[in-house]
């Protein structure tokens, strides 16, 4: 058998992506190529499961079932960064997430009945920021509108109509962003999944998105619901 044929049949091992070690974008890179066997290592709640690979063990699959929720609490959703949050009444429906969960990653998405273009998503990759990422210093300052320099330092796009500012949300330091893209309006809150005083910073996001008419219909309800949050006072994701 020719040696050349044997060489070509062997799998190639690529070196690690050097960008992973660049401080400013290390937090943005998630593990992309997980073994298929990890696809079933998801959270225990069926609401956050994604479709399983076709060759997965059928005994490990829990079919996704949408349920209507009027609130989120730690008794059922212990992986979330808060103990309680009220949802718009008469309740929103859980949606199947776009990606699977593993380890400390979670994604919970909800929408009003019969309107899947409008939704709120609770997401965390479980991947920490590097220790010198500028968001630490930005959130230490009193609530303020981010300068262009601050926005550039955390790689936010600077465009007309985009807003970025910090605030206290029930005594927790958060970064708020508002923008419109592709005919969809967004309101996003970013914060440390763990208590503010802990390091490393585990970025978590609450994102509301909708087309303009629905955004105007729901945004005040969403902001009112965020005001009902009771944050966890302990570390629940250990790096």
Distance set, CA 96 to CA 151, 157, 213, 224 (Å): 32, 29, 24, 25
Long-range pairs of 138-142 with CB within 8 A, sequence gap ≥ 24: 138/166, 138/175, 139/166, 139/173, 139/174, 139/175, 139/196, 140/173, 141/166
Q: Beta partners for 107?
A: 123
Classify 65-231 by CATH class: alpha beta
Retrieve residue 13's tokens: 């091992």
**Gap between the Cα atoms of 215 and 50, Å rounded:** 26
Using DSSP, state whether 109 is helix, strand or coil. Answer: strand
Question: Which whole-number Å values give the CA distances from 234 to 22, 83, 227, in the listed order?
Answer: 30, 11, 20
pLDDT tens digits for range 146-155:
999 999 999 8
**Residue range 158-217, pLDDT digits in tens:** 888 899 999 999 999 999 999 999 999 999 999 999 999 888 999 999 999 999 999 999
What is the C-alpha separation between 221 and 11, in angstroms, rounded?
53
Please report, in tens digits, the pLDDT of each residue of the chain (239 residues total): 444 444 334 444 444 444 444 444 444 443 333 333 333 333 333 443 333 333 334 445 567 889 999 999 999 999 999 999 999 999 999 998 776 556 789 999 999 998 999 999 999 999 898 888 899 899 999 999 999 999 999 989 888 889 999 999 999 999 999 999 999 999 999 999 999 988 899 999 999 999 999 999 999 999 999 999 999 999 999 87
């Amino acid at each position: 058998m020719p040696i050349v044929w044997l060489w070509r049949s062997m799998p190639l091992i690529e070196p690690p992506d050097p960008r992973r070690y660049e401080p400013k974008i290390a937090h943005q890179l998630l593990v992309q190529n997980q073994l298929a066997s990890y696809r079933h290592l998801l959270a225990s709640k069926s609401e956050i499961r994604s479709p399983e690979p076709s060759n997965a063990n059928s005994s490990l699959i829990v079919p996704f079932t949408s349920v209507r929720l009027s609130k989120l609490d730690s008794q059922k959703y212990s992986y979330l960064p808060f103990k309680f949050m009220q949802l718009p009444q008469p309740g929103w429906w859980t949606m199947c997430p776009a990606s699977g969960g593993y380890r400390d990653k979670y994604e919970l998405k909800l929408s009003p009945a019969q309107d899947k273009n409008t939704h709120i998503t609770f997401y965390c990759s479980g991947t920490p920021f590097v220790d010198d990422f500028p968001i630490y210093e930005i959130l230490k300052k009193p609530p303020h509108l981010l300068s262009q320099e601050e926005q550039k330092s955390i790689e936010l796009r600077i465009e007309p109509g985009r807003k970025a500012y910090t605030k206290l949300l029930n005594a927790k330091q958060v970064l708020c962003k508002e923008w419109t893209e592709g005919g969809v309006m967004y309101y996003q809150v970013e914060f440390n999944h763990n208590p503010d005083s802990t390091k490393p910073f585990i970025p978590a996001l609450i994102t509301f998105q909708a087309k303009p008419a629905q955004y105007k219909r729901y945004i005040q309800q969403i902001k009112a619901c965020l005001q009902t949050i009771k944050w966890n006072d302990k570390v629940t994701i250990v790096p």
